[in-house]
């Protein structure tokens, strides 16, 4: 009986070429697994394509709700943003995909998992760290690093390889953006983006959005409610998280929200440039932040911001299945107990404009915050506070004065 390999299958040219390549070079029975994280119409025609390419079986696994509830929301609650801009759309999808790949590998009795990530990118790290954490006994096949047997270097090579194996597929050799899409975002790399001096060609590139310049010249009003950090309603309608993100994608895309052009530092050491469309995610994270700033005390908020940055790096580096991620997430979850309330805002030409926030757990006290004297605050109390708060500064200044006198 042949050994089985589970192939992380997208239906694109790379993973289509991998099916006959795995059979030819390793004599594997190839089990394709496409994990649906909200790729939309990219899933169309996969059954026939996998069969024509020689796959023994194809799984199409829908994990959209799992992705939203157990991967996206922990990142939203943590305020996890990599290098101030990237909302981790690809990064947080990979551990969700890996978990399903391992599950299928166990079900099929496979001995290996194969991925099509390149040797220059982050995804090879994310896939392989996840597999090592969940299934250390499984072999990992990374063709793009196996240059002795993987000799294809271009789309033309891959198409020729498929043709030679009797696989006639609807791909051509024309170059296009390299994209990754799920419910949270779509990323774009390649073409003019490889030159940081060049402006993105948004007219050809954007899929989910329009640019702010092309957005309607009118405001879109949005109201959301949260319970313990989780979004529950959008414009008065109760929805699942996945449904809320889907609708926010539509609203945000129409209003030019969440288009980011970034040069980021990859884990492997190089810089890369990409454009990310994250319309719904940008709105959701802003709404969550808007509510949190009303509820969390200063020190908790400061600590959470620091850990949120660390959480983003952990996710970016593929270390989802680690004790540190679990520990930081546990802290974050403890801060979300009272993150409940209503957030209102307006979308206008790429901007998210506050329109009011309320919560039964708000720490904002109008009596304290106003310029009039209230019962809870006596202006004279500030005298002693400032004296003690500034004592180290005063002591040092006095010492410096004495030192200067001695020098003379």
In a domain, 301, yes or no: no
Mark whether 217 is an active-site residue.
Answer: no
Mark whether 266 is an active-site residue.
Answer: no
In a domain, 15, yes or no: yes
Whether residues 46 and 64 fall in one domain: yes
Query: HSE on the CB side for 35, CA within 13 Å?
Result: 24
Whether residues 167 and 195 fall in one domain: no
Angle at 387 between CA 385 and CA 391, to 5 degrees: 120
Whether residues 66 and 14 fall in one domain: yes
In a domain, 108, yes or no: yes
In a domain, 14, yes or no: yes
Residue ranges of the chain with per-residue pLDDT less than 50:
none
In a domain, 317, yes or no: no
In a domain, 249, yes or no: yes
Give the other-Cβ count within 10 Å of 272's Cβ.
Answer: 16
What is the extent of the structural domain holding 288?
179-296+339-358
275 and 193 in contact (C-beta within 8 Å)? yes
List, as one string, the DSSP characters of 131-149.
Answer: HHHH-TTSEEE-GGG-TTT
Whether residues 166 and 183 fall in one domain: no
In a domain, 48, yes or no: yes
Whether residues 90 and 104 fall in one domain: yes
CA distance 387 to 286: 38
Mark whether 94 is an active-site residue.
Answer: yes
Whether residues 233 and 137 fall in one domain: no
Active-site entry in 51, 62, 178, 362: 178
CA distance 342 to 340: 7
Q: Pick the last residue of a domain from 125, 158, 174.
A: 174
Query: HSE on the CB side for 393, CA within 13 Å?
Result: 5
Active-site entry in 49, 91, 123, 181: 123
Q: CATH number of the domain that 186 lies in?
A: 3.90.1260.10
CA distance 76 to 69: 10
CA distance 92 to 126: 9
Q: CATH number of the domain that 104 lies in?
A: 3.40.50.620
Whether residues 390 and 260 fall in one domain: no
Mark whether 123 is an active-site residue.
Answer: yes
CA distance 238 to 18: 43
DSSP 8-state class, residue 214: G
Q: For position 397, what pLDDT does the model report?
A: 95
Whether residues 117 and 196 fall in one domain: no
Q: For position 166, what pLDDT does the model report?
A: 86
Give 302-341 pLDDT, tens digit per residue: 999 999 999 999 999 999 999 999 999 999 999 999 999 9
List, as one string, the DSSP characters of 170-185.
Answer: S--S----EEEE-SS-
- Domain total of the chain: 3
Q: What are phi and psi of 182, to 5 degrees?
A: -150, -170
Whether residues 345 and 375 fall in one domain: no
Q: Which two tokens stand for residue 36?
A: 């649906």
Active-site entry in 94, 126, 273, 325: 94
Exposed (0-12), middle (13-18) or buried (19+): which is 296, by Cβ within 10 Å?
A: buried
Whether residues 169 and 183 fall in one domain: no
39 and 216 in contact (C-beta within 8 Å)? no
In a domain, 328, yes or no: no
The residues that bridge with 5 in the sheet, in sequence order, are: 30, 112
List, as one string, the DSSP characters of 223-262.
Answer: EEEEETTEEEEETTEE--HHHHHHHHHHHHHHTT--EEEE
Whether residues 13 and 85 fall in one domain: yes
Whether residues 129 and 213 fall in one domain: no
Query: HSE on the CB side for 250, CA within 13 Å?
Result: 7
Q: Pick the last residue of a domain from 174, 190, 209.
A: 174
Q: How far apart are the first and last CA of the chain?
A: 92
By residue count, the chain amounts to: 408
Q: Rg of the chain's alpha carbons, rounded to an integer?
A: 26
Q: Pick the last residue of a domain from 128, 143, 174.
A: 174
Q: How far is CA 149 from CA 5, 183, 237, in A?
A: 17, 35, 55
CA distance 236 to 21: 52
Q: For position 200, what pLDDT does the model report?
A: 97
Q: For position 374, what pLDDT does the model report?
A: 62
């Amino acid at each position: 009986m042949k050994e089985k390999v589970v192939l992380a299958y997208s239906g694109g040219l790379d993973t289509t070429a991998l099916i006959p390549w795995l059979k030819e070079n390793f004599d594997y029975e190839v089990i394709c697994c496409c994990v649906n994280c909200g790729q939309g119409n990219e899933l169309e025609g996969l059954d026939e394509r996998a069969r024509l390419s020689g796959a023994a079986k194809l799984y199409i696994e829908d994990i959209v709700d799992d992705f939203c509830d157990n991967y996206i929301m922990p990142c939203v609650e943590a305020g996890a943003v990599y290098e101030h801009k990237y909302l981790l759309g690809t990064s947080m999808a990979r551990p969700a995909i890996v978990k399903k790949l391992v599950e299928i590998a166990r079900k099929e009795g496979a001995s290996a998992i194969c991925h099509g990530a390149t040797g220059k990118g982050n995804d090879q790290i994310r896939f392989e760290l996840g597999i090592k954490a969940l299934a250390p006994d499984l072999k990992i096949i990374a063709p793009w690093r196996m240059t002795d047997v993987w000799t294809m270097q271009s789309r033309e090579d891959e198409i020729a390889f498929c043709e030679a194996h009797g696989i006639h597929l609807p791909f051509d050799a024309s170059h296009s953006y390299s994209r990754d899409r799920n419910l949270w975002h779509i990323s774009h790399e390649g073409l003019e983006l490889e030159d940081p001096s060049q402006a993105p060609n948004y007219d050809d590139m954007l899929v989910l959005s329009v640019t702010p310049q092309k957005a309607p010249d009118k405001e879109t009003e949005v109201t959301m409610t949260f319970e313990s950090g989780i979004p529950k309603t959008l414009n008065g309608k109760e929805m699942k998280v996945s449904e809320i993100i889907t609708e926010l994608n539509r609203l945000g895309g129409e209003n030019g929200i969440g288009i980011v052009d970034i040069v980021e530092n990859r884990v492997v050491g190089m810089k890369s440039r990409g454009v990310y469309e994250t319309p719904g995610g940008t709105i959701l994270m802003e709404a969550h932040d808007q509510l949190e700033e009303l509820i969390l005390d200063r020190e908790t908020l400061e600590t959470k911001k620091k850990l949120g940055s660390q959480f983003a790096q952990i996710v970016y580096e593929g270390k989802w299945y680690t004790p540190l991620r679990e520990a930081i997430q546990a802290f974050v979850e403890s801060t979300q107990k009272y993150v409940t309330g209503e957030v209102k805002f307006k979308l206008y030409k790429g901007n998210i404009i506050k329109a009011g926030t309320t919560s039964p757990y708000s720490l904002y006290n109008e009596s304290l915050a106003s310029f009039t004297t209230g019962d809870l605050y006596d202006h004279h109390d500030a005298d002693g506070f400032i004296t003690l708060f500034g004592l180290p500064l005063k002591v040092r200044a006095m010492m410096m004065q004495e030192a200067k006198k001695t020098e003379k």
